[in-house]
Structure 1
């Protein structure tokens, strides 16, 4: 409880289930039987607080997606209800986000029919990934690629919100006064949001023993700072209404938003166009790579959030299980109420956690608040200035730009700057090109490290060679060239001890390469001895029945077996601990 008005939030109940398989498929059964009034109080506070955040953000993110504003609200409630029953992390909230809205803008072409169909297909793909345990595919999207994409998205979205005002202030015309008013209001809203954010970050926690008046004051300040989006939008709306009542309007307003709940129906699999009907196949072809990018990026956001915010509720919060199922069902069912693709929100999840939420039931309150807004409050949204929504967007996406990552990577590993910069720059051209190019560059760097593992070579009566990692087929030619260039170029040629203590697996191509290396050394009257072989590697080499294969438990014994008593290990080089038996 942020204000200290109640006790600490109790931990999520974890009862011992009679049917663990059922509870894994339906995580709500893990906490619902032990739900209490104390949890209800905290879930209500958290749900209302998140609801006050999600309503203005939903309107703003619909603008980013290039859709009518009501679609932001249509996308904000189904995920809350679905995650209450299928969610595994109590803090996570599903709904529209800046990243997902930018992707929808790129792949839905500002057409609601495309956006809703994209949600349906993305949900099907995410559900299939969960059933087939394909979540490991996310492991191939490296952190530099993610940072490059989110930073580019932050810049793109921010400039998209301010470019109109910037251009309008420099151009004459009858609407210049209104445009200047939008710019002034937008800057004022940005300043207010930044001030409230800073106030919240510096707000100390109220002590439970503090006077009641102090705790109530703390609660008021905390609530105002947490629900700052709603507060700023409300204030801007009152300003706009005041101008309207006085007969002048220097601000650009949101305008009419259809009132009422969306119709529950299947998404449309074709679209009427001026020159005919666009069939389903054509719509899928138009969305193209977006059918891969949107599900993967959405799932990646949710996984990252679930990892960042505490422990999961009963049931595994894994990439291959309940999390994909929750998001998949949320997008599929959301498409039935005209939702565009949704995912987990970092900002709203943080608000949920800071509000002391105990269970995913807080999402029911948030979803209900969105439904009430759609049913009764859309007429009031008419007076919300677009500049205030733009300020909400900019305030939300600016923290996504991580300027410090460039300095960190320069200090930690400069090579990782390559996929980061490639992704960052190409995302300004096309989002999909930036992500795919960044993944390709990261893949090339990964493959290079596999093909060129570090190899430590020590001189002595025999050449001591120690690969620094497992051997796979791209690396065997490099290892052979290294050994031959050092062992056979010496005068006289030397025998070789291959220390395999870091090698945990090999493949058939490596076995073939080692057989050729044995023949090459034997042709020059030299031998190759293995030491430190781990059991899986030893079994593979024994099964291959290599001619001249000999192995020893340690380097010293390998040196003695080769007749090189002075080829003892160099100082500081770790000894092989494995005891695999005598040489053959």
Structure 2
């Protein structure tokens, strides 16, 4: 008996366990791959080392020294009590550690997201956070769905000039909104135009104590931050241990500039207030609620006294904010993530980043966090601190939690002028004026879009400015689709060419153009429609073809569709359009016409083939 025959005699029952084992192993491996993709922590945590922990711990502590004063400051932009800036700073790093794919990105409150929050979540009740928490929850859900359904391509429709103009407008708006705190002015409106007007109108009401402290903080921040980027110009020369320690200290001092300035400002104001209690008149942050926020689903209604606002009314007030906030958050985070991924040579999974952001915002809303995104300044600090894994964010989160529990009573002595100085120093770096010269040299149309977006953002608000900018920037893309170049080759029979195919924006124009040509220039019994550039036909386009055929039929004119893809041909056949004719090529169509109409002689047939 041969080996092959002996194998054939083995009972199937004996082979089943082996097959089941292989199938089980395959399923197990598939589950592992799925978990690694959806929970990136599974990829790096098994190889986590003590060396990684040391780097992550230092990076996490360094970022925490920045995010605490920034969080307190950004909460003021969002028109929320300062502690909400810290509430928004601890949950997102924990979530991102599990779901994120970048070792550098730090999620948390940002200047732009804070401004967008106050734009869409203005409440008639002072310090009410209900709308902001609802916005975080819904925005997170939309971001999560975008990730699960791979809808990230939508952000590709926001062009560079629009994004740059939006960022510049947001930076100027945020920065100028803090000028009132530098001057210690009261009752300044929020919207940009009125804010500018009343700031200048009330300069005679300047609080000298706030002004001196605020200007001093801005100058101090400028010079202290330079310590983290000193070029020692001796990379190839050996240095002593004490030099290394001194340089590391200077870098850490520059990196923690925000925390240093806040600590010094608190110390100075506290001392002056105690020495000159009757003269010193600093504007302070005031009492901050200590302790951790409760973990619960956000309220979807507002009730206070006789005032009640239903869920429907809240959703109506927020409106387009439910769509703009998720997009802006994703754009901000992805721009940062891709930049550092290229710089540090690792791959960023865009789809998973959407999932991480969405989950962070959803769970963040359970701990009173308003919408968060990636922070460029803190991400840069994280990368410069040699962070190795997203676990650095866990350290940052724990430090923020400790600050909420232990340091909250101290935060009330922080001068508002110092927080305003931190915000102004942060947002001024977002203004990119070099792009104006580049667009002037490369594409002046983009410069027009840039200024329209910029002016609209200042005049109407940045939430409307970006919508206007997107609409204008899409116009050059959509117009050719709605007005395609339709060329008719005046031969016998005429051949109609569509350069950009046929989709619903062009259906009416295509129909009207063909009918107008038939009424004016075309005199023939047959028309050939070259469909080689039609890659997809939608319902509107099919109905347009049906209308044209119906129009031609009483005039004894026949339309032949040439070179149509099989899939699109089947769509037309499903539509049951009478008198529908197809041909594989223009030559075949001409041959078909000549057979049906003998009056076209061989010389004319040859001429048609040459022309086409």
Correspondent of 2:607 among 564, 573, 576: 564
Correspondent of 2:211 among 183, 201, 210: 183
- Alignment partner, residue 119 of structure 1: 136
- Cα distance in structure 1, aligned partners of 2:525 and 2:314: 67
Q: Which moved more, 1:457-466 or 1:328-337?
A: 457-466
- Cα distance in structure 2, aligned partners of 1:520 and 1:205: 80
- Cα distance in structure 1, aligned partners of 2:561 and 2:406: 81
Correspondent of 1:88 among 81, 101, 114: 101
Asked if the contact 1:461–1:494 (Cα under 8 Å) also holds between the matched residues in 2, the reply is: no
Q: Deviations over 1:131-190 (max 9, x none)?
A: 4444444344444433333222112111111145558597698x75xx223223322322
Correspondent of 2:114 among 92, 101, 113: 101
Asked if the contact 2:338–2:348 (Cα under 8 Å) also holds between the matched residues in 1, the reply is: no
- Alignment partner, residue 332 of structure 1: 362
Match status 1:229 vs 2:246: no
Match status 1:448 vs 2:479: yes
Q: Which moved more, 1:242-251 or 1:27-36?
A: 242-251
Q: Deviations over 1:240-298 (max 9, x none)?
A: 23323432535323233233322333433333324244344433333333333323322
Q: Deviations over 1:17-57 (max 9, x none)?
A: 86111222322111111111221122112111211111111
- Cα distance in structure 2, aligned partners of 1:84 and 1:316: 14
TM-score by length of 2: 0.75
Match status 1:57 vs 2:74: no
- Cα distance in structure 1, aligned partners of 2:581 and 2:603: 16
Secondary structure in structure 2 of the residue aligned to 1:219:
helix
- Cα distance in structure 1, aligned partners of 2:201 and 2:509: 62
- Residue 372 (structure 1) shift: 1.9
Equivalence map 1:291-310=2 (5 Å): 291-310=322-341
- Alignment partner, residue 399 of structure 1: 429
- Residue 376 (structure 1) shift: 1.9
Structure 1 residues 407 and 425: alpha-carbon distance in aligned structure 2, compared to 1, 3 A threshold: same
Extract unaligned runs of 5+ from structure 1: 1-15, 570-584
Secondary structure in structure 2 of the residue aligned to 1:284:
helix
Asked if the contact 2:135–2:370 (Cα under 8 Å) also holds between the matched residues in 1, the reply is: yes
Structure 1 residues 197 and 485: alpha-carbon distance in aligned structure 2, compared to 1, 3 A threshold: farther
Q: Which moved more, 1:267-276 or 1:500-509?
A: 500-509
- Alignment partner, residue 150 of structure 1: 167
- Alignment partner, residue 573 of structure 1: none
Asked if the contact 1:518–1:528 (Cα under 8 Å) also holds between the matched residues in 2, the reply is: no
Correspondent of 1:35 among 32, 36, 48: 48
- Alignment partner, residue 45 of structure 1: 58
- Cα distance in structure 2, aligned partners of 1:294 and 1:315: 26
- Cα distance in structure 2, aligned partners of 1:334 and 1:238: 32
Structure 1 residues 195 and 465: alpha-carbon distance in aligned structure 2, compared to 1, 3 A threshold: farther
Q: Which moved more, 1:351-360 or 1:205-214?
A: 205-214
- Cα distance in structure 2, aligned partners of 1:44 and 1:206: 28
- Residue 68 (structure 1) shift: 1.3
Secondary structure in structure 2 of the residue aligned to 1:341:
coil
Asked if the contact 2:82–2:288 (Cα under 8 Å) also holds between the matched residues in 1, the reply is: yes
Asked if the contact 1:465–1:499 (Cα under 8 Å) also holds between the matched residues in 2, the reply is: yes
Correspondent of 2:271 among 242, 260, 265: 242
Structure 1 residues 289 and 236: alpha-carbon distance in aligned structure 2, compared to 1, 3 A threshold: same
Structure 1 residues 541 and 260: alpha-carbon distance in aligned structure 2, compared to 1, 3 A threshold: closer
- Cα distance in structure 1, aligned partners of 2:554 and 2:437: 51
Match status 1:364 vs 2:394: yes
- Alignment partner, residue 74 of structure 1: 87
Secondary structure in structure 2 of the residue aligned to 1:272:
strand
Match status 1:138 vs 2:155: yes
- Cα distance in structure 1, aligned partners of 2:30 and 2:383: 26
Asked if the contact 2:167–2:431 (Cα under 8 Å) also holds between the matched residues in 1, the reply is: yes
Structure 1 residues 240 and 446: alpha-carbon distance in aligned structure 2, compared to 1, 3 A threshold: same
Correspondent of 2:349 among 283, 295, 317: 317
Q: Which moved more, 1:137-146 or 1:535-544?
A: 535-544
Secondary structure in structure 1 of the residue aligned to 2:380:
helix
Extract unaligned runs of 5+ from structure 2: 1-28, 186-199, 592-601
Q: CA RMSD in A?
A: 4.3
Q: Deviations over 1:497-529 (max 9, x none)?
A: 877665533446556666849997998999989
Q: Which moved more, 1:521-530 or 1:465-474?
A: 521-530
Structure 1 residues 287 and 199: alpha-carbon distance in aligned structure 2, compared to 1, 3 A threshold: same
- Alignment partner, residue 343 of structure 1: 373
- Residue 435 (structure 1) shift: 3.4
Secondary structure in structure 1 of the residue aligned to 2:606:
coil
- Cα distance in structure 1, aligned partners of 2:84 and 2:234: 39
- Residue 129 (structure 1) shift: 3.8
- Residue 388 (structure 1) shift: 1.6
Structure 1 residues 238 and 203: alpha-carbon distance in aligned structure 2, compared to 1, 3 A threshold: farther
- Cα distance in structure 2, aligned partners of 1:350 and 1:120: 27
Structure 1 residues 473 and 121: alpha-carbon distance in aligned structure 2, compared to 1, 3 A threshold: closer
Q: Deviations over 1:184-230 (max 9, x none)?
A: 33223223333344554563687486313443333233222322222
Secondary structure in structure 2 of the residue aligned to 1:310:
helix
Structure 1 residues 276 and 504: alpha-carbon distance in aligned structure 2, compared to 1, 3 A threshold: closer
Structure 1 residues 562 and 422: alpha-carbon distance in aligned structure 2, compared to 1, 3 A threshold: farther
Equivalence map 1:405-444=2 (5 Å): 405-417=435-447, 419-428=449-458, 429-444=460-475
Number of corresponding residues: 548
Asked if the contact 1:271–1:279 (Cα under 8 Å) also holds between the matched residues in 2, the reply is: yes
- Residue 66 (structure 1) shift: 1.2
